[in-house]
Amino acid sequence: MSEFKYDIAVVGLGYVGLPLAIEAANNGLKVAGYDINEVVVDNLNNSVSHVEDISYQALNDALTKELLFTSDSKVLGRSEYIVISVPTPLTDYQPDLSYVESASKSIGEYLKKGQVVILESTTYPGTTLEIVQPILENVSNLKAGEDFLLGYSPERIDPGNKEWTFKNTPKIVSGINKKSLEKISKFYKSIIDEVVEVSGTREAEMVKLVENTYRQVNIAMVNELAILSNMLDIDIWEVVEAAKTKPFGFQSFRPGPGVGGHCIPIDPKYLSFKTRQIGQPVQFVELAQEINNSMPNYVVARISELMNKNEILLKNSKILILGVAYKKDIGDTRESPAIDIVETLLEKSVDLSFYDPYVDELVFNKNSISKEENLKNLSSYDLILIHTPHSEFHEINFESVTSLIFDSTGSFEISNAERI
């Protein structure tokens, strides 16, 4: 019989930690979900989820199993596995690992021989060995790899993706030594369909950065080609569709108003931070960030150009933004390009409204814009900007709308619209 009350304690119950806790409970494990935010914990224990992908029913069903949500840090010493899934934001363009450091200190205070600690938070290569391991060892007076085991496994959550879920997305795992890797791999194999082992924690940390840097760079390339194509009077969308017919050597990416979420805009900056520490800036990656960051201003410029051609002044014009989330069919506005577009348009004295079926309010820098509740009056606006291609918007008869339309997503076949 195990000396531990819980099989796993999940530290941090956000977009990463909560799905992990629920999946573990659904697979018959005894789970303690730990978070310092008592409001979050109370809500979860009452089946109220703050994570969009976790429904009331999914949370309620999981609570009928051996799952406890708590703010009592004592559970950290009563769990065989401890997974750190706290935020790793950027502060002043620098990686902020304060949450990881704080979580590591709390774990260290309760750490016992035989426990296994896994970091899942996205970070730069070396964090597990250079930040987490020293804190755990110094606070607990135990030796990593001998008294307790330690490893890294990057999260691969894709909000809103119904096809690739936590359960069937292959899981990268690593350990600081062979024993750690074996133990960590065994755990994830009990709850995930496919586990992929890599040789070390630095490699595992790098995997996540490579995945999202790859997307950042390729999106930037097609965005720049979209700008060039517009200048040359070439339809970039037709070009991309035609290029897709090549059965080898080409992967399609689509231009758009920028990149959003907590992965693509953020992860490459962790890579840039680490490479600058060793005196080798990743110029190609940083240029891609610059291009994607410029796209909201490009969208505003194209809107202004379209309105000028139709003898409508941008100042005091009436514009509706359809969709403000960073991707379709979710309500997540983190790092959404819509924020920068809205701020720029407000600076230009535009009368701005938005509609998003998944977002009730848009608040930023103590400002907000009103939400349109009635899409029957689309023609009352000078211009409609399609920012997010929510499925619901495909039901709109845009052909009957007399307003100017600018589709920044290229996802709609509208004869009277301009596309990015």
Looking at the DSSP bridge assignments, the partners of residue 404 are 383
With residues binned 3-state (H G I as helix, E B as strand, rest as coil), the percentages for the chain, rounded to 5, are 40, 15, 40
Using an 8 Å Cβ cutoff, are 21 and 29 in contact? Answer: no
Query: 144: part of which helix (H) or strand (E)?
Result: none
Say whether 261 sits in a helix, a strand or coil: coil
Phi then psi for residue 75, to 5 deg, are -65, -20
Q: Which amino acid is at 323?
A: G
Q: Work out whether strand 67-70 and strand 404-407 pair parallel, antiparallel, or are unpaired.
A: unpaired
Reply yes or no on whether 263 is catalytic: yes
**Positive/negative CA dihedral, 196, 200, 206, 210:** negative
Nearest by Cα to 239 from 303, 250, 249: 250
Maximum Cα–Cα distance for the chain, whole Å? 78
Exposed/middle/buried for 115, CB within 10 Å: 0-12, 13-18, 19+? buried
Exposed/middle/buried for 228, CB within 10 Å: 0-12, 13-18, 19+? exposed
d(CA 410, CA 284): 26
d(CA 70, CA 65): 15
d(CA 135, CA 102): 9
d(CA 353, CA 130): 47
Looking at the DSSP bridge assignments, the partners of residue 383 are 319, 404
| 3-class DSSP string for 314-341 | CCCCEEEEECCCCCCCCCCCCCCHHHHH
For residue 216 the two structure tokens come to: 């950042």
Using an 8 Å Cβ cutoff, are 71 and 102 in contact? Answer: no
Exactly one of 41, 263, 264, 420 is catalytic; which is it? 263
Phi-psi region of 340 (alpha: psi -120 to 50; beta: other; left: phi over 0): alpha
d(CA 278, CA 264): 23
For residue 121 the two structure tokens come to: 């938070």
d(CA 63, CA 16): 18
Which amino acids are annotated catalytic?
263
